[in-house]
Structure 1
Amino acid sequence: MRRLAEFIHDIAWDQLPERVRETAALRVLDLVSVAAGAAKDPLVEAAKEALGTVSGCRMEMPPVAQPGFVSVWGDTRKYPLATAAMLNAMLAHTLELDDVHTASKTHGSASLIPAAWSCAEYLGKSGKDFLLAVVCGYETVNRVGMAFGVSAHRNRGWHATATCGVFGCAAACAKLLDLSVDQIVSALGMAGTQSSGVWAFLGDGSNCKILHPARAAADGIEAAFLAKAGMTGPEHIFDAKDGGLLYAMSDGGDVSKLSQGLGEVYEILNMDMKPYPCCRSAHCAIDGILEIREQMEARMGLKIRNMSEAEILADQIQAIGIDTYLVGYKQCAVSDGCLHPKTILDAKFSTPYSVAAAFLCGTVGMEQFEPEVVFDPVVQKLLEKVTVHPADRFTEQYPKHWGCHVKVTMQDGTVYEAEVEDPSGSVARPLSREQAMKKAEEFLSVVCPGRETETIEELLNLESRNMLPSI
């Protein structure tokens, strides 16, 4: 871990490859925009009231606020540092559109960017300082996830976005606080002793998943500030024989991955950008069924123009079978909520639902997770025809590839098949810049209607700003 701490301490903006600098700005744009899109979410609004009460935040406080209070995206009020970071992290994870690092199975940006943003605003840091901290956060959270080992960590029930995310937050804030190497080691050690977050919410569809990156953000910030104050954390938090995380939360892992390729391989360049607002493990199946939909159109010489026409074809489907990797199967095709979604969150973690909605609607966007679509009898009828199975060949390729095979059997015996090695938005199949800008514009319109283009430019040019913009 010390080598990682030394990297965080020593790295300077001018040392970063140009592509890394550009990617950092793009990652911030993507995360901030999808967070902005959730700005009026009822659960986050309720959390503001609850956290305002326990943190002592005066909710009626004007935007000018008192020293030490910072902003929350899409809100004119100011909040205490850790509270603001928590709320921004909740926003970031609400729409299920935050980026993902497949080799670690982490959505680190959902916590590290909010933590770094709030800390940079609190400290009055420049956009360049903020972006450098973001790079440190990405390099940390992704390597921690790889050290755990994706399958072993997930199969024990741990939510890597939370358990690894706290390290990224501590790293980013340690950089902003200009901590020494020893202090950074302590900050990471204290982050590790607070590492938590499990997948139990899937069992009954509880909605606390957004608390995971929120707690990671707050705990990471506090770990960095406590390290600056002189509190020390365990340097061997990962490999200690008694209480080391790689043994407690995995099958031993590989501690060498914490420092492997530092300064040479930038994991921030290996991020998937999500095109669909649902669990990433369902994306390959969405791509597969959309490809089959096109095959049907070509074979039958028709164009499906609306859901009613798609319903006619859906009635002719006998079965939809999906083979995928074990983690994807466990996460999106086992619980009752996955098989029989009764809430929006259930639907976002249901491969059967995502496939049914994609086939009937021809796309999967925010509209497909509105109650009138989720509970549409036509969608519910089709999802009952979908079965998902774990397949060794996809499990063996995971996490390098998050793939699946989709097979649709019609009532007349006709079979359509599609195989997806990597889902759209992955490093192997990246979204175009036009698609990325369109995504950002769509969600920024929630908090700055009419100023979307201007806001995009502000976020893409943070490097030249003396302070962070208001969102």
Structure 2
Amino acid sequence: MNDLTATGAGIGRSIAATLSRLTYDDLPPDVARIVKLFTLDTLGVIGGAAKAPGMADLLAALTAWEGDGKATLLLDGRRVNPASAALANGAAAHSLDFDDQHDPARVHVFCVVLPAVLAAVEAKDGPTSGQDFITAVAAGVELFCRLGLTCYNSLGKGWHPTTALGSISAAAAAAKIFGLDAERTLHALALAFVQLSGTTQFIADGALAKRIGPGFAARSGVLAAHLAAYGLTGPWRFLEGEAGLFKLYERGEVKPEILTGGLGETWHVRDLSMKPYPCCRCVHTTIQLALELRAQGLRGEEIDSGTIELGEVNRKIVGAPFDRAHANPVVHAQFNAAYGFAAALTDGKVEIASYAPDRIRADDVAFAGRFTTIAASDIEPTAIAPARVSLRLKDGRTLIAERWTMKGAPDEPMSEEEVFAKFRACLGWGFDAPADAVLRLQKKVMALDTLEDARELVTDFLACRR
């Protein structure tokens, strides 16, 4: 356990001061480009969620209580208050489990930060330049990554760190858009902490709440920054206080020095991973192993049984036995290593259609039910990338395959063309989007630093809806 008293008071104040001073000129060129690429990816994933389970119900629930507002529900174009827009768009960004992740920190960042920034941009009077937009996103994302690294075992304790830590990060980003000074930025972060929530129980129960969690965080962050702008205050020792994040929520299992060390100069944004498959990141290496075995000629009908070995935290998240009759098949399959392996081996690909209920319940992937997932003794408990599969074949042979890296991570990145292809595929799936509108949006995002008014992103996104 770390000695929190050694850090002294005022960690949140230090963070707020640094982020409030941050300008576009402080961003290294590669960081600005990363922000643009992941903004593109997230907008694509939001569009892909147009037909995702629960999204129509969420939009109906939110609009049942309000009329026209200042911000846009991206999936249907209706205008609502900015907090509701952040909630709905954040939920859409996460609903396919196709959004980015900082693998070491185990947080999905853009699904929270980008919807919060879009809502703040629309809520604000007057235009926000593309450079200011990029700076705000970078600030929120960087804080998010650092919070995840600081609270290194949050997921292992049952928190959903994307939801829990996302509210603070979204507040930081929205505060940049609203132009808050250091003191009001501090209170925005603190007011977001007061709203902190998040649990992995929705994963265990296969509930649609899983996809709404990041929306809750985006909503809380925008609301916190808005309240702070009007002078409301929060507990300034929200991190290191006796009832702050570190002690109350994380039980002292934290590395506080990560939060402030090199903030504004050293960028953990560079360590983000983009997802090639629409499911929990803990499953991705298992999927890759299946694709490699398929390329070698293996087919599902040859398998008698199998064992998947993962790190202990991964096993807790995606190691449940595969249940074809699960009441909530989509979330269950997205968080099931055995299903991911079976779908990849059977189809030679894993895409949004792989997680349709009829596909999950099909006979040709039923062999996933003969797999057991265990914690590997030689894999670090919190390691996310490594996986090993041991297969017993019907002819008596045994096959063993393992992998220690993961596609989409900084050490095995998706190419720019792969990113663009995913963007086009998502908007095609969700909206049947016209190719010219998709290309226009793609070019607009990649030239974001030249825009005088970032609200053009919303206009061009809506043009992709038929």
Q: If the length of structure 1 is used for normalisation, what is the TM-score?
A: 0.89
SS in 2 for 1:387: strand
Matched-pair contact (CA < 8 Å) for 2:95–2:212: no
Find the counterpart in structure 2 of residue 424 from structure 1: 407
Given that residues 236 and 244 in structure 1 are in contact (C-alpha distance below 8 angstroms), is that contact kept between their aligned partners in structure 2? Answer: yes
In the alignment, structure 1 residue 385 sits paired with structure 2 residue 370: yes
- For the Cα contact (< 8 Å) 2:168–2:221, is it kept in 1? yes
2:67 is aligned to 57
Q: Which stretch of the first structure deviates more once superposed, 347-356 or 205-214?
A: 205-214
Matches within 5 A, 1:78-227: 78-123=79-124, 124-149=127-152, 152-227=153-228
Counterpart amino acid of residue 273 in structure 2: D
Moved more, 229-238 or 34-43: 34-43
Residue in 2 that maps onto 1:322: 308
Match in the other structure for 2:447: 461
Aligned pair in 2 of structure 1 residues 429, 315: CA closer, same or farther (>3 Å)?
Answer: same
Match of 2:44 in 1: 33
Q: CA deviation at 1:426?
A: 1.1
2:324–2:360 CA contact under 8 A, matched in 1: no
Note the residue ranges of structure 1 that are not aligned, 5 or more in a row. 59-67, 298-312
Distance in structure 2 (CA, Å) of the matches to 1:337 and 1:296: 27
Change (3 A) 1:408 1:185: same
Write the distance in 1 (CA, Å) between the matches of 2:321 and 2:132.
43
SS at match of 2:296: helix
SS at match of 1:393: coil
1:98 counterpart SS class: coil
Output one character per residue of 1:232-267: Cα deviation in whole Å (capped at 9) or x when no partner: 1122212112x1211222231122221122123211
Code of the residue aligned with 1:416 in structure 2: it is L
CA distance in structure 2 between the partners assigned to 1:288 and 1:373 by the alignment: 20
Are residue 362 (structure 1) and residue 348 (structure 2) matched? Answer: yes
Contact 1:295–1:416 (8 Å) recurs in 2: no
Aligned positions, number: 440
Tell me, yes or no, if structure 1 residue 259 matches structure 2 residue 260: yes
- Any idea what SS the aligned residue of 1:76 has? coil
- Displacement of 1:185 after TM fit? 1.1
Question: Structure 2 counterpart of 1:195, which letter?
Answer: L
Helix, strand or coil: the match of 1:7? helix
Which shows bigger deviation, 352-361 or 402-411? 402-411
**Residues in 1 aligned to 2:328 and 2:86: alpha-carbon distance in whole angstroms:** 31
- In structure 2, relative to structure 1, the CA distance for the partners of 1:40 and 1:336 (3 Å cut) is closer
Name the SS of the counterpart of 1:322 in structure 2.
strand
Determine if contact 1:203/1:336 at 8 Å carries over to the other structure: no
CA distance in structure 2 between the aligned counterparts of 1:290 and 1:419, rounded to whole angstroms:
12
Q: CA deviation at 1:327?
A: 1.1
> What's the offset of the Cα at 1:342?
5.3
CA contact (8 A) 2:91 2:214 kept: yes
Q: 2:113 is aligned with what amino acid?
A: L
CA distance in 2, matches of 1:392, 1:174: 45
Query: Structure 2: where are the runs of 5+ without partners?
Result: 1-11, 462-466
Quote how far apart the aligned CAs of 1:339 are. 10
Q: Relative to structure 2, which stretch is displaced further, 405-414 or 111-120?
A: 405-414
Return the letter of the residue paired with 1:402. A
After TM superposition, the score normalised by the length of structure 2 is 0.90
| 1:277-324 Cα deviation digits (max 9, x unpaired) | 111101111111211222336xxxxxxxxxxxxxxx423212221111
**For residue 240 of structure 2, what is the amino acid of its counterpart?**
D
| CA gap 1:459/1:388 in 2 versus in 1, 3 angstroms | same
- SS for the counterpart of 2:304 is strand
The AA in structure 1 aligned to 2:46 is: A
* Secondary structure, counterpart of 1:237 in structure 2: coil
- 3-state DSSP of counterpart to 2:340: helix
Distance 1:457 1:73 in 2: 19
Deviations 1:436-459 (A, max 9, x none): 110011122344322211111011
- The residue aligned with 1:308 is none
After superposition, the Cα gap between the structure-2 partners of 1:39 and 1:367, relative to the gap in structure 1 and judged at 3 Å, is: closer
Q: Is the 8 A contact 2:44 2:423 kept in 1?
A: yes
Query: Does the residue aligned with 1:164 lie in a helix, a strand or coil?
Result: helix
Correspondence for 1:394: 379
Distance 1:119 1:182 in 2: 19
> Is residue 21 of structure 1 aligned with residue 61 of structure 2?
no
Identity among equivalent positions (%) equals 29
CA distance in 1, matches of 2:376, 2:388: 9
Q: Partners of 1:147 and 1:179 in 2: how far apart?
A: 25
Bigger mean CA deviation after superposition, 448-457 or 410-419: 410-419
Does the CA contact (< 8 Å) of 1:145 and 1:164 recur in 2? yes
Secondary structure at 2:380 match in 1: helix
Deviation at 1:30, TM superposition (A): 0.5
Distance (whole Å) between structure 1 residues aligned to residue 369 and residue 58 of structure 2: 35
| Aligned residues of 1:153 and 1:251 also touching (Cα < 8 A) | no
Describe the SS at the equivalent of 2:297.
Answer: helix
Aligned to 1:408: 391
Aligned equivalents of 2:120 and 2:292: distance in 1?
Answer: 44
Alignment of 1:337-356 (within 5 A): 343-356=329-342
Counterpart position of 2:244: 244
CA contact (8 A) 2:98 2:279 kept: yes
